[in-house]
Amino acid sequence: MSAAPSSELLSKLFGAPAAEGCLGDRARLQGMLDFEAALARAEARVGLIPAQAAQSIGRQCRAELFDLAQLADGTEKAGNTAIPLVSALTSLVGADDPGAGRFVHFGATSQDAMDSGLVLQLREYDGHLSADIERLCKALALLARTHKESVLPGRTWLQQASPVSFGLKAAGWLDAMQRHAARLSEWRARALVLQFGGASGTLASLGNRGLEVAEALSRELDLALPALPWHAHRDRIAELAAVLGLLAGTLGKMGRDISLLMQTEVAEAFEPAGEGRGTSSAMPHKRNPVAAAVALAAATRVPGLVATLLAGMVQEHERGLGGWHAEWETLPELASIVAGSLHHMAEATEGLEIDAAQMRANLAAKGGVALAEAATAVLAPRLGRPQAHEIVGRASRRALETRKTLLETLASGPAVTAHVSRADLAAALEPGAYLGMAAAFIDRVLAAHDEEER
């Protein structure tokens, strides 16, 4: 029933098997059938249809009883998946219980079955996604704690800047992931709701029993009952798209950082090694950042899909034409890509290898000029900031030209030594002494994470 079949060759690279299981055609079909079975039970509960008919309908609401190829042919003609499904279900029920067929889909419309079925799919998907977010957050919290004092160069505009700790970098990733978890929680409360409105959103075909049936149906499906049907109001779907887009962006940022740290000339952090992982077909020595590549590819693909779902919000009157249809393949693709990126990044983060010695070595490279701001800070109270900045700038350039250390060039100048001893300069140029509030920031993020864990 999908016009763009997923690739078996690429699905494990770009997807997450557990999440994909609730996004495919079988899951789409079962979601609609779960709605139809629950609708029959709800209507039997309030006395609108016989209990025996509800049981007969429920027995046939199993995806394996349906021919996907036939449903696809019917979808091509009907314009949506629910119409041929309801027809096939009615035939199955009628063959089993001739009197029950007329009660299939009683009082509902196609979009009720499709949207409520989708919500059931998304509820399961959310469970898998949230589990992987929690997994990633735990791994990041461990990195932040373990490497609270592992000093490495800060990098701004891709150039070495004043030092940071790897724990601070991990805490930054963690803080962002905790915001995404909060966004998902907020979306969950707003969006995991029933869709049941009948032809035009009034449930007129059920007379004065419509709300009663809706309440019973919401209990059957364990979905909240919204104030009114939302056929043409797609903000719930678009909100999920936006949250997934933000999540993909953070995962892409992580992937970019890790891939840069893995560069041969940097060599500060590495994705976990394994048989066949990150290998090259031509160069035996290579260790490529596979999870980072997946996250970066997802971050590249996702914005266009999010834009499609946002554009689809503009729907006509009570039931939309085209905008709703644009969701059917776009949302599963988006959800699958983001779940895959998250899954791979969680796995890589759990096994991330950190070379703290190389981090310090990189800080010391080029004579340790990355600590120039620290030198300026110790000289400024004696000389004034403008003069201190100028002196340290000249000393940094000299250190690079002569391949000496910044400490050596500063300590050789009388304009400096007249005010600061070499010992004081050496203490100021110790990377671990110039981390500012890094430890406090890490503690704040970890405290929030620990509170959430409780």
> For 236-268, how does the pLDDT look when each residue is reduced to its tens digit (9 = 90+)?
999 999 999 999 999 999 999 999 999 999 999
**Residues 360, 354: Cα–Cα separation, whole Å:** 12
Give a yes or no: residue 113 inside a domain: yes
Token pair 């016989």: residue: 50
Give a yes or no: residue 310 inside a domain: yes
Same domain, 336 and 377: no
What CATH number does the domain containing 17 carry? 1.20.200.10
Give a yes or no: residue 345 inside a domain: yes
- What would the two tokens of residue 27 be? 């899951």
Backbone dihedral angles phi then psi of residue 24, each to the nearest 5 degrees:
-80, -175
Same domain, 239 and 294: yes
Same domain, 171 and 255: yes
Q: Is residue 384 left, alpha or beta, with left meaning phi > 0 and alpha meaning psi from -120 to 50?
A: left
Give a yes or no: residue 297 inside a domain: yes
Report the candidate in 353, 261, 269, 347 with the shortest Cα–Cα distance to residue 13: 347
Same domain, 79 and 163: yes
Report the candidate in 432, 252, 262, 270 with the shortest Cα–Cα distance to residue 360: 432
Give a yes or no: residue 445 inside a domain: no
Q: Which of 322, 354, 386 is the last residue of a domain?
A: 354
Please, which pLDDT band fits residue 233 given cuts at 50, 70 and 90? very high
Q: Which amino acid, 353?
A: E
Same domain, 116 and 147: yes
Same domain, 248 and 375: no
Catalytic residue IDs: 280, 319
- What would the two tokens of residue 307 be? 């834009």
Same domain, 302 and 381: no
Instruction: Tell me the pLDDT tens digit for each residue of 185-222.
Output: 999 999 999 999 999 999 999 999 999 999 999 999 99
Token pair 């996907």: residue: 68
Q: What domain count does the chain have?
A: 2
Give the mean pLDDT of 87-102.
96
Q: Which of 302, 325, 354 is the last residue of a domain?
A: 354
Instruction: Tell me the pLDDT tens digit for each residue of 33-51.
Output: 999 999 999 999 999 999 9
Domain that holds residue 167: 11-354
Give a yes or no: residue 443 inside a domain: no
Please determine, for residue 320, whether its predicted confidence score (pLDDT) is greater than 80. yes
**Residues 284, 279: Cα–Cα separation, whole Å:** 7
Instruction: Tell me the pLDDT tens digit for each residue of 266-315.
Output: 999 999 986 656 554 555 566 789 999 999 999 999 999 999 999 999 99
Same domain, 227 and 151: yes
Alpha carbon 36 to chain centroid distance? 31
Contact by Cβ (8 Å): 165, 107: no
- Residue 429 or residue 274, greater confidence: 429
What CATH number does the domain containing 406 carry? 1.10.40.30
Same domain, 364 and 324: no
Give a yes or no: residue 446 inside a domain: no
Same domain, 291 and 408: no
Contact by Cβ (8 Å): 94, 57: no
**Residues 110, 129: Cα–Cα separation, whole Å:** 28
**Residues 256, 211: Cα–Cα separation, whole Å:** 51
Give a yes or no: residue 440 inside a domain: no
Q: Which amino acid, 281?
A: S
Same domain, 317 and 364: no
Q: Which of 312, 331, 354 is the last residue of a domain?
A: 354
Same domain, 201 and 342: yes
